[in-house]
Structure 1
Amino acid sequence: MSLELDSALLELRLAVRAFTEAALESGAFEPHCDSWMRGHDPAFSRSLARRGWIGLTWPAEVGGAARSNLARLAVTEELLRYGAPVAAHWMADRQIGPAIVRYGTPELKARFLPGIIAGDITFCVAMSETEAGSDLAAVRTRAEAVEGGWRVNGAKVWTSHAHRSTHAYLLARTDSSGRKHEGLTEFLLDLASPGITIRPIYDLGGEHHFNEVVFDDVFIPADQVLGTVGEGWTQVTEQLSFERGGVERVLSTYPLLAHMSAHDAASRRAKGQLAGRLKALRGLARDVAAEMDAGRAPVREAAVLKLLGTRFEKDVVTVARAATGLRPDLGGDTRSRLLAEGILAAPGFTLRGGTTEVLGTIIARGLTTARPRSLIRDVARDVLRDEEPRVDSELWVRRLADLGWHSAEDADLLALLETLGELAISVPLAETALAWALVPPNRRMDMAAVVPEPGAGLKVTREGEYLILDGFITGVPWAAYCPLVVLVLGDELVLLDGHVMGWKVEPGHDLAGEPYDTIRFTESLIEPHERVPNPWPSGAVLERLALLRSARTVGAMRAALRLSVAHAGDRTQFGRPLRDFQAVSQTLARAAAQLALAESALARAADGYGIAALRVVLADAADEVAAACHQVHGAIGVTREHPLHRFTRLLWAARDDGAPAHHWADLLGDASADADLLWDLTGD
């Protein structure tokens, strides 16, 4: 994306933010959870329309602004963060308008798109049926060809805002002779047509936005078919990418999160964990928008976002109940009301737009574990193709240090570490690369360990120009093998090598069998020439080490999942492959979604908050992927007869890398006390 486009997106985001804040302060609306589904305010939608914020992505020739899906994402994020009432135009703007742009005739475009853009034509979505449940292809509503058009009979259910909409998008069966996915057609229907009965369905809170819509010999003119007769399934599958892949699947309860005042350290930590996940999820939403801008229909990516997003939305409610100590009250103050709204809306999150199980099936069906391709990854695999998975400092000294990997540019270094994780080869690349970035060129060695924070076990005393170190430091990767250990003490670095007296290393190992050593000091005298200035600000060394080791963890996750997908295809039970069992496919889908979230967090770990979010996400993702892979492998997976253990042990050990997960959650939680900072730190 060009700098100009970045600037334009920021300008648009700030304009929407200023407008929405002004509307909120003027009392034009109150913040609500689930506002994109329940907050129906045609006047507010028309005020957005006057500013050109509806139909933003549509071509200029039909009245749109010809902006990107990333631009629309900026608009929708800013509206949803404040809980603005956007339901009146939401369905038409999100999915019906784009479907008309893609499949509509010139006459349909001219008839509907300008009215949608102005906020005058509003749509409900008539897809679901009671008998069909989550099986959208099982619809029974029929449209029979008659002179001049089609005659429709049947019923739709859960049709939100049908009683307030001018038109409906309708999916109906026009041919029953083929398979159930065939013979479906999409229509655009004027809800003022004779023969339509709309019956209210009240939700848990007594609110009316659901409806049952009954069609009794309703006539639809032939020119109101959308796309090709009988090709509705192909068209609607693409449309579901718009429905499932929007950030509304993440932000339904964001107003509650923003208003949540954590009353103790545990609550702040829980809020910080949510903030970390939110950053990665917003990144996934950007990826989906970018795919749409590239002209693709990201069906699987949208399913991943919805699967993880709706789980997040529910967790916000759970955490808020524990953190605030409030009693949910629809008639209470803002926080009590938002909590009540979140509780009542939450059961629907994992149902609408496709149930969790349906989404899992979509993810599993398209599940691939292809390695990311790049020149540096290909070179690394070529160099290491004859190497067995193992912990090996000699491999580093003998073959890899001379390749200069430890001085690679950031993107290449992360790719190399991911590749090592995928191959379960453990060498001190991350530690040596970090040391090379810190110490002067004349003090570098080909293998080095780094201690970013020595902990409370080390006592540091100053006597004139000397330092005296006494005590111990635990959990130092590779210290026993490295001729140089870089110890970070605030604004200076202590360079421990063979010339420094009074320290020794006691070897140890972590769960993956990697060196995880203890350094002991006995009144070790550190002279001035054994210290150099720390070129980085406080905390930056720990963040950098966490980022580098996280890249390897993501590679190990990918490899573990790849083994499990292959095993589920090769292993048979009761005469069929394991992957054909729904429980197995759902398990693999959940693991794949967690991997996608971890990859999103890694790709966006550009600053301290981004790295903190990555560590929060990895803490859960590594556990969930390891558990899922062992479940799929069964008994063979818990033995050394199978290579799975090489990767899952890396995942378990990763939880202890550097600072524990709660350190990063606390950092995010403290920042999240400010609602504006919460929003900014969870963005890109």
Structure 2
Amino acid sequence: MTDDDLGELRRQVRDLVGEWRDGDRFRPVCDAWLRSYDTEFSRALADRGWIGLTWPREYGGQARSNRARLVVTEELLRAGAPVAAHWIADRQIGPAVLRYGSPALRERYLPLIAAGAVTFCLGMSETESGSDLASVRTTARPDGDGWLLTGGKIWTSHAHRSTHAYVLCRTGTGGDRHEGLTELIVDMSAPGVTVRPIVDLRGEHHFNEVVFDDVHVPGDHVLGTAGNGWTQVTEQLSFERGGMERVLSTYPLLAATVDACADRRDADAALGEALARLAGLRGLAWRIAGELDAGQAPVHAAAVLKDLGTEFEADVNEIARTVLDVEPDPDADGPAGLLAQGLLAAPGFSIRGGTTEVLRTIIAKGAARSPRRGGDELRELTDDVLGGHGGDPEGLPTLWSTVHGLGWTGVSVPESAGGSGGTLTDLAALVRGLGRHGVSLPLAETVLAARQFAAAGRGLPDGVATVVTGDGIAVTGGRLRGTAARVPWVAAARTLLVYAGDETFAVTADHPGVRVTPGRNLAAEPRDDVTVDVPVTDGMRLTGAAPAGTVRAEAALLTAAALTGALETAVEHTRQHVTTREQFGRPLLAFQAVGQTLARMTAHTLLAGTALDAALAGPDPLRVAAARVLTGRAATLVARGAHQLHGAMGVTREHPLHLSTRRLWSWRDENGTQQFWARTLGAALVPRGSAGVWSWLTDEETDS
């Protein structure tokens, strides 16, 4: 099997999981990666080379990609399989040994981990430290050719079952408390190690308190360099945060809920929104895996995934509880039992691997440090052309002649049809630029019409064009009649592309049978009502144009692009404001509440952009629906957060923030509301059942 055969790898993992599940060798549970422990199952995975999958072959690995590992882990997690025995060693300790361990440590431990023969627990947290790892008090002092380890760790999962522990301890002192920290590999059978059980909310024993009383650790069991532990541990936490276990802890419950609702339509909106969020998070995990394969360290993206992922998997409990109207029952099978498991596990979701507050501090600091990205040439071009032209449109802006002269109105239209060539992705980049700079132009509308003129083999429309769709217009008695509400830019258009049922017509906007009632949206952009009553002629028909549903989906996709651009600028205005404006002698960003809000804005904007990229990658209209749900959610959160952090400065038109936020409030409900797209997604996916939903979620089957 080659490294590109991710589909075959996925099938093999499903076969193994199905064999064990059908043989009653495990029951799917929520939070399985922490709570469901079975060394035999881990060894069955090891026998197939699925532990240490990305490691070099000389250390027992398969030298495969991080995306291959993602395929394995997400198939195990979605099944609620018993993977806890090897999870920490495979996810975190092995990569740390591979990166920082001496050749002797690699040769000793990596093959044993890959074989499922050595298991690890994490010795990080301490009773007085909480999430502040830099305050650890466990110490190690030199002892001949090794160290004597003294202190204690708490909430150490599976310490009573693990053969070894990773321990963060203090071996030196300095002016900076981040100095002098060291990572050790400790044999849990060594004299002086005591493990005391801690029972969790579910009445289960996986937590422990571990006490080290002068435990001898060989000198060659230092991971990396003594005193460099802080740098190493913060990098290792990105391995812990960037995986799908931060998203799929309650997936067995979500799957059971989807299956229970497969024949119901009243839950489409709630489940559709949940599936949009899951698709976005899975897309972010796919991106992180790709960046790891490219040798990058996506610490910021991993923190976002963990933050939004743990929020999602906790929300699954409430979605299931509301949709199914079921009482949690810890002794039941099916959704009631899974709900009980999820509810009792959920308090730990936002704590383990770094609390939500810590993660949002990381995200906020990352946002504050990084200048807004430039990127590709098309982005730079849009910034050059559109910069400084934002504002409320008064009629057709003079900038229109510039973008028309640059050929933007023909982007994604074949050159053979008179267009400028390129793809819909190129057009989306231009529209995203309009959103980023608060510029209102009928670009999307004109190009969408031009694409259909080209498909029909007709010359492109002259000047501004717009698309009129909806159920209000029909052909009756040989006349095209009806009214469509809130159509963009009708008053400025020369040509109307009108859909009536399965037929498409080109109507000149100045036809005597066309009547326009001007209107506008919250951003003062034209949204006009148009009434048509014109005789149908053969010259009006556009044979070969795409169906109305296709054009609506393209319009919705471009709206998502515009929303993403406006999101980026709203976040950027806020970043600049909170890093430069001071209150009580400190920058606003120094206040935790401010940093938390900026982090949420940043995270949801990243997720929206990820969903947009997925929608642009292929012709799947359900990806468009997911992008519209996530950009709509982000628009609400970002606009609210931006105004909260700008205070009084943001509620006037003296500050340019309003050019973004008024567009966010308008565009999130145009070309289909967020609720409409959530219902659309749910209605399409829920009847497929959980197996069909999963197939849709995981349709990338190559490493490219």
- Give the TM-score, by structure 2 length: 0.93
The CA deviation at 1:282 is 0.5
Whole-angstrom distance in 1 between the partners of 2:40 and 2:525: 63
The C-alpha deviation readout for 1:257-310, integer Å capped at 9, x for no partner, is 111023854422101100001111001111211221122222211111100001
Secondary structure of the 2:182 match is strand
Alpha carbons 2:475, 2:500 under 8 Å: kept: no
Secondary structure of the 2:166 match is strand
Whole-angstrom distance in 2 between the partners of 1:386 and 1:230: 51
Residues paired across the two proteins, number: 674
The C-alpha deviation readout for 1:622-661, integer Å capped at 9, x for no partner, is 0100011101100010011111111100000012211111
Whole-angstrom distance in 2 between the partners of 1:480 and 1:600: 35
Whole-angstrom distance in 1 between the partners of 2:134 and 2:516: 65
Give the aligned partner of residue 410 of structure 2: 407
Whole-angstrom distance in 1 between the partners of 2:608 and 2:371: 14
Question: Map of 1:502-517 to 2, 5 A cutoff?
Answer: 502-517=513-528
Question: Map of 1:287-306 to 2, 5 A cutoff?
Answer: 287-306=287-306
Q: Aligned to 2:663, which of 650, 672, 684?
A: 650
The reply on whether 1:634 has 2:647 as its aligned counterpart is: yes
The CA deviation at 1:502 is 2.1
Question: Map of 1:52-67 to 2, 5 A cutoff?
Answer: 52-67=49-64
Secondary structure of the 1:393 match is coil
The reply on whether 1:320 has 2:337 as its aligned counterpart is: no
The CA deviation at 1:150 is 0.5
Alpha carbons 2:499, 2:548 under 8 Å: kept: no
Whole-angstrom distance in 1 between the partners of 2:649 and 2:387: 25
The CA deviation at 1:538 is 5.6
Alpha carbons 1:561, 1:592 under 8 Å: kept: yes
Alpha carbons 1:609, 1:681 under 8 Å: kept: no
Q: Aligned to 2:215, which of 214, 218, 228?
A: 218
Whole-angstrom distance in 2 between the partners of 1:397 and 1:388: 13
Whole-angstrom distance in 2 between the partners of 1:25 and 1:95: 30
Give the aligned partner of residue 377 of structure 1: 379
The reply on whether 1:550 has 2:560 as its aligned counterpart is: yes
Give the aligned partner of residue 531 of structure 2: 520
Structure 2: segments with no counterpart, 5+ residues: 412-421
Given the superposition, is the C-alpha separation of residues 102 and 443 from structure 1 closer, same or farther in structure 2, using an over 3 Å criterion? closer
Given the superposition, is the C-alpha separation of residues 545 and 310 from structure 1 closer, same or farther in structure 2, using an over 3 Å criterion? same
Secondary structure of the 2:545 match is coil
Question: Map of 1:250-329 to 2, 5 A cutoff?
Answer: 250-260=247-257, 261-262=260-261, 265-329=265-329
Secondary structure of the 1:155 match is strand
Give the aligned partner of residue 354 of structure 1: 354
Given the superposition, is the C-alpha separation of residues 450 and 369 from structure 1 closer, same or farther in structure 2, using an over 3 Å criterion? farther
The reply on whether 1:113 has 2:93 as its aligned counterpart is: no
Alpha carbons 2:151, 2:211 under 8 Å: kept: yes
* Greater mean alpha carbon deviation, residues 258-267 or residues 300-309: 258-267
Alpha carbons 1:469, 1:526 under 8 Å: kept: no
Q: Aligned to 1:432, which of 438, 446, 451?
A: 446
The CA deviation at 1:79 is 0.8
Secondary structure of the 2:50 match is coil
Alpha carbons 1:237, 1:299 under 8 Å: kept: no
Whole-angstrom distance in 1 between the partners of 2:435 and 2:450: 21
Q: Aligned to 1:420, which of 424, 434, 448?
A: 434
The C-alpha deviation readout for 1:57-77, integer Å capped at 9, x for no partner, is 101121210111111011111
Q: Aligned to 1:486, which of 491, 497, 505?
A: 497
Alpha carbons 2:464, 2:494 under 8 Å: kept: yes
Give the aligned partner of residue 82 of structure 2: 85
User: Which runs of 4 or more aligned residues in structure 1 lie more than 6 Å from their structure 2 counterparts after TM superposition?
Assistant: none
* Greater mean alpha carbon deviation, residues 23-32 or residues 637-646: 23-32
Matching residue's letter, 1:574 = F
Give the aligned partner of residue 632 of structure 2: 619
Alpha carbons 2:17, 2:76 under 8 Å: kept: yes
Matching residue's letter, 2:490 = A
* Greater mean alpha carbon deviation, residues 442-451 or residues 338-347: 442-451
Whole-angstrom distance in 2 between the partners of 1:369 and 1:179: 28
Alpha carbons 1:396, 1:428 under 8 Å: kept: no
Whole-angstrom distance in 1 between the partners of 2:332 and 2:14: 26
The CA deviation at 1:572 is 1.1
Matching residue's letter, 1:491 = D
Q: Aligned to 1:598, which of 608, 622, 627?
A: 608
The CA deviation at 1:407 is 2.5
* Greater mean alpha carbon deviation, residues 355-364 or residues 651-660: 651-660
Whole-angstrom distance in 2 between the partners of 1:495 and 1:306: 50
Give the aligned partner of residue 469 of structure 1: 481
Structure 1: segments with no counterpart, 5+ residues: none
CA RMSD of aligned residues (A): 1.7
Matching residue's letter, 2:90 = D
Whole-angstrom distance in 1 between the partners of 2:669 and 2:571: 21
Question: Map of 1:173-252 to 2, 5 A cutoff?
Answer: 173-252=170-249
Secondary structure of the 1:425 match is coil
The C-alpha deviation readout for 1:404-461, integer Å capped at 9, x for no partner, is 113222232111111111111110111111111112332523311112x413xx2524
Q: Aligned to 1:393, which of 393, 396, 402?
A: 396
Alpha carbons 2:55, 2:64 under 8 Å: kept: yes
The reply on whether 1:35 has 2:10 as its aligned counterpart is: no
Alpha carbons 2:54, 2:65 under 8 Å: kept: yes
Secondary structure of the 1:152 match is strand
Alpha carbons 1:267, 1:323 under 8 Å: kept: yes
Alpha carbons 2:53, 2:61 under 8 Å: kept: yes
Whole-angstrom distance in 2 between the partners of 1:255 and 1:15: 20
Matching residue's letter, 2:303 = A
Whole-angstrom distance in 1 between the partners of 2:281 and 2:135: 32
The reply on whether 1:581 has 2:603 as its aligned counterpart is: no
Given the superposition, is the C-alpha separation of residues 543 and 567 from structure 1 closer, same or farther in structure 2, using an over 3 Å criterion? same
Question: Map of 1:74-153 to 2, 5 A cutoff?
Answer: 74-153=71-150
The CA deviation at 1:499 is 6.6
Alpha carbons 2:171, 2:227 under 8 Å: kept: yes
* Greater mean alpha carbon deviation, residues 105-114 or residues 235-244: 105-114
Whole-angstrom distance in 1 between the partners of 2:462 and 2:20: 60
The CA deviation at 1:524 is 3.1
Matching residue's letter, 1:645 = H
The CA deviation at 1:540 is 1.4
